[in-house]
Amino acid sequence: MKSYFFFFLFLLFRVSFAQNHSPEQVCVLSKTFQEKALWFREMPHFNRDSTVFYFDKAAALLQNSQPLQYERLAELYREITDRANRSHNFNVVDSLAPIGWEYYEKIPDNKKDKVLGYDLLINWALIKIIRGEPKPGLELFVKALDMLKADTRTEVQLKILKDKGRFYYQYGLPEEKEIGIQYLKESMIGYQESDYPEKNEALVIAYKLLSYHYENSNPDSTEFYLNQLDALLPQITNPFHHTWHSYSMGNYLVLRKKYEEAESYLFETIQLLEKYHLTTIDVYQFTHSLLGDIAEVDGRIDEAIAYYEKAKNSSIEINTKANTASFIKKLSKLYALKGDYKKALAYHVEWADTNESIELERNERSLRESELEMNVLKQDKELLAKQQQQTFYIVALLLGTVMLVLLYRNYRLEQKSNQKLAALNEELDHKNVLLDKRNAENELLLKEIHHRVKNNLEVVSSLLELQSSQIDDPNTKDAMQEGQNRVQSIGIVHQKLYQGTNLGAVEMKDYFINLGESLIGSFGAEKRVTLECAMDNLDVDIDTAVPLGLIVNELLTNTLKYAFPEGQQGKVEITLQKNGDGVLQLQVSDNGVGKSEQIKGTGFGGQLISLLTQQLNGTMQEEVKNGTRIFFDFKPEKAA
């Protein structure tokens, strides 16, 4: 009765003080209470109850003052809902987080600190993840990131990296965990090189999660991060981190089968937890279970049972049912090892009952349906003797209802699936349209490139022609003319590429006809020399087409210069075909006088033909009979 009286007096004092003092005085006193709460968070004077007491005093004082100081309240709730340093239990923190966010939203826009809003949302999101509510947690997380997306400050970016790593890792899915690990490593490196206020707390979070992640897959990494955490502990006043480190070292050593060393760390963990009244956190249970495992290995079955009994009772106290079931199952095994089969059987039955309860709770809807079914069956039994017909109608009605519910559920699921499929198809169509558009743009760009290359080659050809017109020496003039023809042969390749439909290949029959007509015209031999391309249409890639064009250019030039002297009439035939092995076979023949010296390699043209033949991995044969025939076999390598 006295406690209620003093609590009532405190409420009256708090309301009276808030109403009779200025906002500035209220703010100062609330900060004093908050500082006391934070003081009780630290070792060696850590006290969770005192922390909660002073936080509540600070909040109540601000909430009973007018006008409400929304920014100050939001700052206070950021501390209260801090996941790593919380003093309230998760249920309470989950209910306080939206209150803190509501205060933040009431701050005028021009006074809002976005980092404050971000911290409130991140705290709330992490609480949701721990409580097994991933969807609202993810929504809050995305909303928080959106608040700071435009903030490029290094300190803020490190904070975001740290929180991304923490959130993704605790989200639980394997892919998200790997992403989280990468973010944690990036944030760790950044904080190690910084002097920001939250440096130590951020590094502790990174070291803890990284050491836990590599526990089974990479023991060396686990040991490294635990040592990093150990080196940082002298600067850490949060007992949660100290107990976690000693427990993790014990667990690490148990996995390495170093049981004696592990025991010293585990005893230290229990001592710290009991000293600071932290026996209601799950580390307390796990520490006792590890000590039980060590005792079992040493053959101390009674001690192992005692440790697991304590782990079980601690788990029951904070309602961690999955842990409780695990401990009960272990106790059944230990009693069997001891030879007490009666207790072993009793614990096995208890484990089965507990495990069944857990399975039911994993699906809330299934649980409700099971309870409903049990109630109905009970009513049926009570009414069976009195009104059998009525029972039949009730059962039929329930079955009909269940069927309708299932049918409706299936209909809704099918409808949602169809909607998702339609959305995916629409997205795919949109992406295909964008891809077609991009391909068209690339094709247009490539055609423009070939067009410009052709134009540039025409400029070079014109310059050679202009230069040639100013030269009197016939040999030099011929050399300039040949150079002009070579440039023109390459230019025709690029012309065919941008005029055709296939930007990756040249149709060689049409190309040879254009090249031949151009060369015959340049020698003024249109009326006395005819050209025939005795071949089918054949597409060749540009890397092969250009050397082939230059070879044919040289051969036609030599033919026009030497094969038909003194205005003699003549015929030139070009064939190109590809056999089944991919070998290109080129033949250039004429019915001229049959001089073969022009391609022996003594001049530049002959050297060029020889080099280009080697480039195409080819061989050349010559036959002088009723004119000249040149045969080539090419095995061009595909471009990488």
Beta-sheet pairing, 505-507 with 628-634: unpaired
Q: Is residue 306 part of a domain?
A: yes
**How many domains does the chain divide into?**
2
- How high is the pLDDT of residue 303? 94
Last residue of a domain, which of 313, 332, 356? 356
Last residue of a domain, which of 328, 356, 384? 356
- CA 572: distance to chain centroid? 64
pLDDT, average across residues 307-328: 85
Q: Is residue 332 part of a domain?
A: yes
Q: Is residue 171 part of a domain?
A: no
Task: Report residue 452's pLDDT band, with 50, 70 and 90 as the boundaries.
Answer: low
- How high is the pLDDT of residue 15? 47
DSSP state of 563: I
Q: What angle do CA 317, 319, 320 make, to 5 degrees?
A: 115
Instruction: Convert the pLDDT of each residue in 6-47 to its tens digit.
Output: 444 444 444 445 556 788 999 999 999 999 988 998 989 999
Question: Is 70 exceeded by the pLDDT of residue 359?
Answer: no
Q: Is residue 199 part of a domain?
A: no
Q: Is residue 596 part of a domain?
A: yes
393 or 421, greater pLDDT: 421
Structural domain of 262? 237-356
The CATH number of whichever domain residue 324 belongs to comes to: 1.25.40.10
Instruction: Convert the pLDDT of each residue in 368-406 to its tens digit.
Output: 334 333 333 343 334 345 645 665 677 777 888 888 888
Q: What is the dihedral of CA 538, 539, 544, 550, to 10 degrees?
A: 60
Question: Is 50 exceeded by the pLDDT of residue 421?
Answer: yes
Instruction: Convert the pLDDT of each residue in 248-279 to its tens digit.
Output: 999 999 999 999 999 999 999 999 999 988 88
Query: Of 286-300, 347-361, 543-557, which range is least confident?
Result: 347-361
pLDDT, average across residues 71-84: 88
Same domain, 480 and 350: no
- First-to-final CA distance of the chain: 90
pLDDT, average across residues 184-206: 92
Q: Is residue 485 part of a domain?
A: yes
Last residue of a domain, which of 310, 328, 356? 356
Angle between helices 70-80 and 90-105 (to 10 degrees): 160
Task: Report residue 84's pLDDT band, with 50, 70 and 90 as the boundaries.
Answer: low
The CATH number of whichever domain residue 573 belongs to comes to: 3.30.565.10
Same domain, 340 and 478: no
Residue 381: partners with Cβ closer than 8 Å, 6 or more residues away = none
- How high is the pLDDT of residue 207? 93
Same domain, 346 and 483: no
Q: Is residue 256 part of a domain?
A: yes
Q: Is residue 214 part of a domain?
A: no
